[in-house]
Amino acid sequence: MSGGGGGSGPLPYSMRDLDGGGGAYNNAKFRHRSRLKMASQALFTNSSKYECGKFTVGKFLSLLLVSGVIYLLVHKSSDGFVSGELHEKVGNTHTKKDSPKIHTFWRKPPRLPPRLPPNEIYRNNSLLLQSPQSEWTFRQKKVKEAFEHAWSGYRNYAMGYDELMPLSRRGVDGLGGLGATVVDSLDTAIIMGADDVVSEASKWIEDNLMKKLSEKGQVNLFETTIRVLGGLLSAYHLSGGDKARSDSGIAVTSKTANPERLLEVSKDLADRLLLAFTSSPTAIPLSDVVLRDRTAHAAPDGLSSTSEATTLQLEYSYLSTISGDPKYDLEAMKVLEHMRTLPTVEGLVPIYINPSSGQFSGENIRLGSRGDSYYEYLLKVWVQQEKYRNTSLKYLFEMYTEAMKGVKHLLVRKTIPNELVFVGELPYGRNGGFSPKMDHLVCFLPGTLALGATKGITKKKALENHLLTAEDIENLQLAEDLAKTCVEMYFVTSTGLAPEIAYFHIEGNSEGGPDGGNRSSQYVNDIIIKPLDHHNLLRPETVESLFVLYRITEDPKYREWGWQIFQAFEKYTRVDSGGYTSLDDVTSLPPPRRDKMETFFLGETLKYLYLLFGESNILPLDKYVFNTEAHPLPIIQSAEQISHSIDDTIV
């Protein structure tokens, strides 16, 4: 744009004024020489009136102005001056040899367009910026190498223990002593084709796990179900145990696990865990089981986490399907049937429930810890039981739909100054104050919202077949907005890794605290990271949602974001002797290390990254549902649907 006194306005004088009122000259060069002579004479005459000592600043500036006019006259093209407006229209017709114009010298520098954020760049240039498939194959290979490095540390220093302490190079039992990392990792190894890991893990399970079940003491019902039982059942299926299904896209090799043995161990474990259901006076299971005694009891305070009590159905329903014994499914589904009868706040529920009374305890509502997977399984259990979606289990999708409306109405806010979308909390219920706090755990929600919108097929296919309602489209947009926020929780820190918990600046809230340390981030003033919350446990929720959103939207930015997160894990959490470690502070460099490799890093985080960088026909989302520990289980179809699947495979 042109500015004050510049080229788009009228010139300060016309050609007629400089010609002294005479006619036009035919020869342009002669005109130039005449004007130069006239201007020089005027300058000489005026200058001679003054002595050098009386030459003032004003005179000097006048001299500069006249000199500039002379320069322009001498270098003017034969076409004469072009007004600013006309110059804009015909400027493209001039060659590079054209002389400078007044417009060029006097106008203000052009205003540069604002820099687009990463998501807008990918949206506008998705084809140009999309990495070739060979690059994604390379990146997928790097994730597999990371998995094998993590496993090598565990195998060398902690084999048979629940978790590895990679800095101390020893194992620790924090989940009941069932070798949780072994079982959590097995299906990841099968999916990646890490045959040596498959052999080592399956051999350990066959030789040791059944014995441990009869010897070990107290375990948590929820953690043991999602990690150990879920891992066994997924490995059973991917090893060819469920012979009627072949939708995974994963080849069954000779080095696979023994599916019969995996099923045997699964049933033994599930029979012991069922005591938590059958020993409770209500439909809400007790929180803990003593395996060797086959007894169950409540937590010391008598309460269960709502998410833990309600995140059990995928595993037990599938076990009933493959074993032919309905008892597992019946006990687990009683929980959700009971939840259906309880009062809610626009579909939202408190994070504690009492198994003795079957009623909620307290009013704290959040989608982070103790609340998260309740909402996840409302949808996923409905998705898994395909033949009952429109009949006996329709209520689950209705509960999920109501809950998501409640989330949007009561929990979703935008930050200042940059309007990041996030999900906050109601610590004292709907009548209490709103807290702008969001756990990293909440980052499961974008993936769940996307799955709920399209039911696992691509957005493009859903639109082409007119399968998306206005609410589906709204939820899908919310999913993308929340995923952006989750990613910025990574990119706002010095390490590029997210904290366990973040707070957000919102209008009218005085919440304050330190930032993430990356002052180049656009969102450094939107996100607050408090000292007690700045640790990182190698969690999977964000990359889980990136995986689901990439599969559904096919937008390459989710892959690119996932690659940046993986590189940060590699840079700051990799331990040379084997394994990866949690961090104490993601906002400082170098980050202090915590000496713990959670089982879900192998079972979830690396699995989702590997699948994110791979082909979409591997474990397709309209054929598989992932439990909350990322163990894929097949969607349970009717006999007729299974028959069609087999026929399609044969053809």
Question: Would you please indicate which residues are annotated as catalytic (active-site) residues?
Answer: 223, 372, 500, 541
* CB count in 10 Å sphere of residue 137: 12
DSSP secondary structure of 356-419:
TTTEEES--B-SSTTTHHHHHHHHHHHHHBGGGTTTTTHHHHHHHHHHHHHIIIIIEEE-TTT-
Residues in CB range of 48: below 8 A, 6 or more apart: none
Look-up of token digits 């989302």? 621
* CB count in 10 Å sphere of residue 192: 23
Say whether 527 sits in a helix, a strand or coil: strand
Encoding tokens for residue 280? Answer: 């409770």
Q: Round to whole Å and give the CA distance between 418 and 601.
A: 32
Decide if 11 contacts 81 (C-beta within 8 A).
Answer: yes
Decide if 250 contacts 269 (C-beta within 8 A).
Answer: no
CA dist list (Å): 498 to 124, 459, 632: 27, 28, 25
Q: Report, in angstroms and rounded to the nearest whole number, the Rg of the chain calculated over CA atoms.
A: 34
CA dihedral in degrees (385, 390, 393, 398; nearest 10)? Answer: 120
Look-up of token digits 């006996």? 392
Decide if 190 contacts 634 (C-beta within 8 A).
Answer: no
Decide if 636 contacts 646 (C-beta within 8 A).
Answer: no
> Within 13 A of 282's CA, how many CA atoms are on the CB side?
21
Helix 557-573 vs helix 541-553: angle between axes, to the nearest 10 degrees?
160
Q: Round to whole Å and give the CA distance between 603 and 31.
A: 85
Q: Round to whole Å and give the CA distance between 583 and 572.
A: 8
Q: Round to whole Å and give the CA distance between 503 and 492.
A: 13
Encoding tokens for residue 100? Answer: 């400078």
Residue 628 marked as a ligand binder = yes
Q: At residue 176, what are phi and psi to the nearest 5 degrees? A: 105, -5
Binding positions: 628
Binding positions for Ca(2+): 628
